[in-house]
Amino acid sequence: MLPAACFTADGTSPERPQRIVAFADVHGDLDVTRRALRLAGAIDERDAWIGEDLIVVQTGDQLDRGDDEQEILELLARLGVEAEAAGGAVHVLLGNHELMNVAGDYRYVTPGGFADFEGAVEFDPADPDLVELEPLHRVRAAAFRPGGPFALLLAEHEVILVIEDSVFVHGGLHPEHVEYGVERINAETRAWLRGEGERPAILGGPQSPVWSRLYSYEPDEEAASTLAETLDMLGAERLVVGHTVQRSGIQNLCDGNVWCIDVGLASHYGGPLEVLLIEGDEVSILREAQVVVPR
């Protein structure tokens, strides 16, 4: 029941602003993923959804640099089902590291990351697509190659997400991406992950939606102008990105139009735990309380 202060004079309940919480690259760190979700008010100590109608957005890079990737993917998938049943949502985006794994690029996979998928999928040892790979790579390749079981799980995720006046993407969004089509990028990526098409060329290169750092690494006036044009094309107010670590915490850049939320929260980087909260027109930062142990 809402407290009395939440009701108007005529006894009706005013509409509460939509609550959206976003956090960035978790890179195989299950503990920090759970802590971010708890900071957001999404889960309890047993990892059960308590967020009611809360919308959670994870902006990509669940994979690489850590050992708990499978558990992270499965936790977020389960919470998506629980959240939907409660009137909320969990949106997990694709980052460059997810797409690298589907493309067979394992340069950032840890030994524990390879071991994590042993026994997770069945495959034919004589499969011509796998037999030439290093033995350690074969299970991961079978799991993440287009059409593989974990690629199919990734196919449920999007590259670009628009919620009301907020746009979420891993790296950055440019006018040419909007012209190409947000839904087209998502659909073509989904088809590739399912093994039903080629990898979209627009995902490649340093200015792709999952690789761009235009707005999050010392953006200049030209970058701010490009972002303003991009948002205007979408009728949006703000862009939220991960991908580029902000050593001093979540940053609001490009004339206030972009929120850069990758703070290096995964143990690989050792950054602080911060998440972004959007409530209607209000944007704020939630920070995990730091416990100081007396000496």
Active site annotation includes 97: yes
DSSP class of residue 28?
Answer: T
- The SS3 assignment for 283 reads strand
Set 97, 157, 170, 268: catalytic member: 97
Sheet holding 238-241, edge to edge: 160-163, 166-169, 238-241, 258-260, 251-253
Which residue type does 64 have? D
Q: How many CB atoms lie within 10 A of CB 247?
A: 10
Q: Label residue 248 exposed, middle or buried (CB < 10 Å: 0-12, 13-18, 19+).
A: exposed
Which residue type does 106 have? Y
Ramachandran quadrant class, 181 (left: phi over 0; alpha: psi -120 to 50; beta: rest):
left
Calculate the alpha carbon distances from 258 to 179, 213, 278 in Å: 20, 12, 13
Question: Which residues are catalytic, by number?
Answer: 97
